[in-house]
Amino acid sequence: QGCTQKYIVKNYFYYYLFKFSAALGEEIFYITFLPFTYWNIDHSVSRRMIIVWSIVMYIGQVSKDILKWPRPLSPPVVKLEMRTNAEYGMPSTHAMAATAISFSFFIATTNQYKYPFELGLVAAFVFSTLVCLSRLYTGMHTVLDVIGGALISAVLLVLLYPAWDTIDHLLLTSPFCPLFSIVVPLLLCYNYPKLDYYSPTRGDTTTILGAAAGATVGFWLNNQYAAPAYTSQSFQPGFPLGTSTMVFVLARFLVGILVVLLTRWLTKSVVLGALGYRYKFPICDLHARRRLEVEVPYKFVTYSSVGFTATVIVPLLHELLGLM
């Protein structure tokens, strides 16, 4: 299972299109797009997307390990990815994340910004469809996995939408928000469904819940002690965009993502070093890092630090550098 199958690419357009589309449902996209939205578009939109994304992904990841539906057999399917091959298939969390993020972004912005409703709807549909099709092209999911994931995500969006404003208000104003945001995700991570063999689903779920926990604490702190939640006026969807606006948008993103990546590397190194000292294992020991008592704290602390940095430290740095 650790060896990639040999294959011949006959259509490079589809190959690179769907390899890129598959990346839109992975960490590299989450760690860039969600912070970008917070820094450059709208705080309220970003908060709603993060809330929906974390809930949808937790339900999707847990469902995989409860249902235990296998991924497509290979052969006849040729698998272009190997990292997630150890996970079960149903539902496709790529499909769930793509549907949740694209449509929550569309729903949250359609009443706040002036752009054609049809354009936003088509963009959300195309984005989610490309990610869904990429899971079929790469051989990682069946059609049923993808349809199931998209439908589950759509149902959750419908159920969550009426409570968006209430949840957002509580997360910003409740004195119990920081405690709730840390304790509940940690309990969910430590009580994740157990499997007979190692699967990256628990680690990925801890990453997602940790990032959401850190960001949520950051939202609360900003609203309590910095400035009330606001709609950023630095970027308004629509064209043409001024050159100076684009320069500020790019500068905020580059400074922010550099700080976020540095935070992730530094926190991961420190936490793994401390856990290695506590449980007597070298940091390079992959088997030890997969143990529950190691994987959950190191990933939760690392990514909660990332979420907190993205929502609190980076905006302060932007203000200090005159990028607001």
Is 287 a known active-site residue? no
Confirm whether 94 is a catalytic residue.
Answer: yes
Closest alpha carbon to 219 in 157, 164, 173: 173
Largest CA distance in the chain: 58
Q: What whole-number distance in Å separates Cα of residue 59 and Cα of residue 67?
A: 12
Catalogue the long-range contacts made by 262-267 (C-beta closer than 8 Å, 24 or more residues apart): 263/305, 263/306, 263/309, 263/313, 264/31, 264/302, 264/303, 264/305, 264/306, 267/301, 267/302, 267/305, 267/306
| Apex 149 CA angle, 195 and 69, nearest 5 | 35
Catalytic residue among 43, 94, 169, 318: 94
Q: Which of 141, 169, 287, 318 is catalytic?
A: 141
DSSP assignment, residue 83?
Answer: G
Which residues are annotated as catalytic? 94, 141
